[in-house]
Chain A
Amino acid sequence: MKWNNAMGFSHVFFGVFRSGIFSRKARSRHRFRKVLVCVLSLILVFNGCATMRLPEHEAQSFDHYKHAQVKGELAVAIQPLTDKKDIKEYFGTNLLSMNVLPIFITAENRNSSASFILSKDRFSLDSAQSAHHNLGHAGSGRESAGQSVALVGAALISLPMLFAGMKMVSDSTVIQHNLKVKEFQTNTLSPGEKTQGFAYFQLPDEKTRPNQWNLHLEALETRNKKTEDFDFTFTLEEKGGDQK
């Protein structure tokens, strides 16, 4: 009797247990939870812990640029990146908060026989006031009473990085790599060739910074050693949005 009772009890107990834990409904719920955990882990890995990716800044056709000039069949266009959203998108960090202004420069040699050297050593950024002063006083050189800022190599831009883990180390390497690889490099533009890249300028502090700036570029025509000067005046507005 006792044995029968015990058997009956165990039968009922395990039956309820099985139906409670391993019933079709419960099993599908269990499977759903498992899938949910997997999906959440994958989202975490591929979003939170994934290696940072920064998009390329593609050059547009010359008509799209607000600041474009053609001299000696060399077309040059510039686009100062002043929108914080754009800067963060392309560089992964707000360079303007470090007083660094990235300017996108694109050039196209439309000449059928001449070649040009667009050397980044010959780029300069001055406050528009001083640039006009220089242009008005021929032969006075580019040094004047106005404000002139230095071109900084991507290697010299120090990013305030606090390494809190592998993800942050990885992000810092991606940002540094991206800055350098996107930098404008000195090249010879043979007939029909194009070049592009960013020049980085160290600006003065926001409080003392003028709004109007002039970017001066020089291109050397290799055969006749003739220099073509390009001057672009633009307004520096941090919330300026699209500069194209």
Chain B
Amino acid sequence: MIKRKKQFAISAQIVLFFLLFAGCTHVYKAPVNLVKVDQQREKIPLTVGLQLSDELRNAKWEKHVMGDTFVLPLGDALTQNAEAVSRHVFSEVAVTQGTNNEATGGVEAVLTPKMVVAEWTWGATAFGASILSVMLEWKMEDLNGNIIWIDTVKGEDKENTGNIFTHKSNAKKQIEACITDLFQNSFEALSSSVEIMEFAKKKGGG
């Protein structure tokens, strides 16, 4: 009986040790809903090759805090919205996958989005502000590799950090708002670029 009690105590200690010292991974979900943009705007008459690199597909925000890992995978939300926004801006879009840099036939320019910043602050208290910022660099090159236009666009949202019960739902709202802001700003930047419009004109309007 005493032996069994000892065994139980030892196994309880081991379980407690792992519970206390084993780090957990907390994964947030980035919604992959396509961001709504102003569809009334006229498309730029240009056939564009959209380069969605593996780096962008695997883009994420990650933070290690006191043994725990917090992860926000952003790849799907970024690639799917990048494609959707490009299709709203340009008359023709051909998507190139992975690291293949070769432009598809008929393409007049290559557009590459790249995540340059993903940072998330946490408030010191549940009522403290949390800011999520994601920055995308959009680069358009001609077929000779000359840069036509490059811009870095920011998406940001501020929410209360939330307590143990509200943090997840606040975070979800915040991620969605940040992605929406990022792609609405991206749409604005791409569709109003003087340099892209000049290039399209030179190309004879697609």
- Contact status B150-A117, CB under 8 Å: yes
Mark each residue of chain B from 58 to 75: 1 if its CB lies under 8 Å from any CB of chain A, else 0: 000001011000000000
B149 within 8 A of A: yes
Which of B125, B135, B195 touches A45 (beta carbons < 8 Å)? Answer: B125
Query: Please, which residues of chain A bring their CB within 8 A of the CB of B194?
Result: 115, 190-191
Of B124, B146, B148, B150, which is in contact with the most chain A CB atoms at under 10 Å from its CB?
A: B124
Contact-residue size bin, chain B (C-beta under 8 Å from the other chain): 20 to 34
Mark each residue of chain B from 33 to 77: 1 if its CB lies under 8 Å from any CB of chain A, else 0: 000000000000000000000000000000101100000000000
Mark each residue of chain A from 160 to 196: 1 if its CB lies under 8 Å from any CB of chain B, else 0: 0001001101110110110011010111101100000
A212 within 8 A of B: no
CA distance A163 to B122 in the complex (A): 13
Closest Cβ–Cβ distance, residue A41 to chain B (whole Å)? 12
A49 within 8 A of B: yes
- Contact status B150-A187, CB under 8 Å: yes
B129 within 8 A of A: yes
- Contact status B124-A166, CB under 8 Å: yes
Q: Closest A-chain residue to B128, C-beta based?
A: A51
- Contact status A177-B120, CB under 8 Å: yes
Closest Cβ–Cβ distance, residue B28 to chain A (whole Å)? 14
Which of A174, A185, A222 touches B147 (beta carbons < 8 Å)? Answer: A222
A40 within 8 A of B: no
Interchain Cβ contacts under 8 Å between A and B, 23 examples = A45-B125, A50-B124, A51-B161, A119-B150, A169-B65, A170-B128, A171-B124, A173-B63, A173-B121, A176-B119, A177-B133, A180-B119, A180-B135, A181-B119, A186-B150, A186-B152, A187-B150, A188-B149, A188-B150, A188-B151, A190-B194, A191-B194, A225-B146
- Enumerate chain A interface residues (CB-CB to B < 8 A): 45, 49-52, 115, 117, 119, 154-155, 163, 166-167, 169-171, 173-174, 176-177, 180-181, 183, 185-188, 190-191, 220, 222, 225
